[in-house]
Structure 1
Amino acid sequence: MKIAVISDTHMGSVPAWLDDVYSTWLAPADVLVHCGDITSVAIWSYFMQHDNFVCVRGNCDWDPQFADLLKPMTSFERDGLSVGVTHGWGPRSHVPVTVAQAFGPEYDLVCYGHTHARDWSIVEGLQLVNPGSLGESGSLALISIATDGTMQCEFVDVF
């Protein structure tokens, strides 16, 4: 299974380069996760084309056309894997610990954003991933999960 994780797009409209990013890295994923700060209905609508799109509300998501539909935290299960998703909150240096504590040890993976900094770490016994900012630094994460449950993360620079 492959999970594509993006966050902090901070875009008002769909840029020309996004079609290539979507077709190359996001569309082939079994699940597309957006960790918040999508910021516009145009971008939200664009990513809704993925059959398995999961998105949470970030601190910059105010547009009631889509933001009111999003929760600050969500979770899903896929192929026996329990995944939590949130944007994150508080001082950026504390976000990984805050997120890990909010979800707890029953999750196999937690995806978060907010800091705009890539992270693939274990915090309080929980595997965390932050893809960085797709809109500002062109960063995304691809998580590959083997049948035995082992996970690998590849960070991709798209520009």
Structure 2
Amino acid sequence: MKIVVLSDTHIPKKAKALPDAIIPDLESADLILHAGDWQVPEVYSMLSAFSKVDGVHGNVDGQDVISLFPDKKIIQAGKFTIGLVHGHGTGKTTEKRAIEAFIGEKVDCIIFGHSHIPVHKVTEGILLFNPGSATDKRRQKQFSYGILEVGEKLSAKHVYFGG
């Protein structure tokens, strides 16, 4: 199973449409996960043209997006459990807030966004993954998104493009 992971698309504020560079992976995705800051619900419609879409809302999403997506979600992908959260809040780092969102819950992976900084590491046996942003790289060298491959193992990678 191929899962394309996005966050912080901020459409139409930072881009008018999905970047061309991500389209081939969207076309071959079995599932698309979005970790919040969609900006507008039309992003859901854009992504739904390619595959099944699921996600959470972020701190800049309005009531129209909040009505579609919760602030936190657990998804089953094959034999793996994935926690999905935006990661915004006060105090601590985005990564620590994302981890704390799932304390007491058994997850194999936590996907989060908010910082626009790509993260890919394992902490206490949990894969932590932030795809970065495909439309708003901020202080990063390149735009990015992620791909999770779900099979006997769960693996993640970033895809970087532009500059």
TM-score normalised by structure 1 residue count: 0.85
The runs of 5 or more residues in structure 2 that have no matched partner are 138-142
Give the Cα separation in 2 of the matches to 1:157 and 1:93: 27
Instruction: Report the alpha carbon displacement of residue 12 of structure 1 after superposing the two structures with TM.
Output: 1.4
Structure 1: 5+ residue stretches without partners: none
2:150 equivalent among 145, 148, 153: 145
Offset at residue 34 of structure 1 (A):
0.5
What is residue 59 of structure 1 aligned with on the other side?
A: 59
Q: After the TM superposition, which of the residue ranges 102-111 and 69-78 deviates more from structure 2?
A: 102-111
Could you tell me how far 1:8 is from its partner in structure 2?
0.3
- Cα deviation, 1:27-79, whole Å, max 9, x if unaligned, reads 312211100000012222211224321111000001x3332221000111121
Partners of 1:19 and 1:117 lie apart in 2 by 18
1:139/1:110 CA distance change after superposition, 3 Å? same
Matched, 1:3 2:3: yes
Cα gap change, 1:39 to 1:47, in 2 (>3 Å):
same
TM-score normalised according to structure 2 size: 0.83
CA distance in 2, matches of 1:53, 1:92: 30
- CA distance 1:34–1:82, shift in 2 (3 Å): same
Is the 1:9–1:133 contact (alpha carbons within 8 Å) kept by the matching residues of 2?
A: yes
Give the fraction of aligned pairs with identical amino acids, expressed as a percent.
27
- The number of residues matched between the two structures is 155
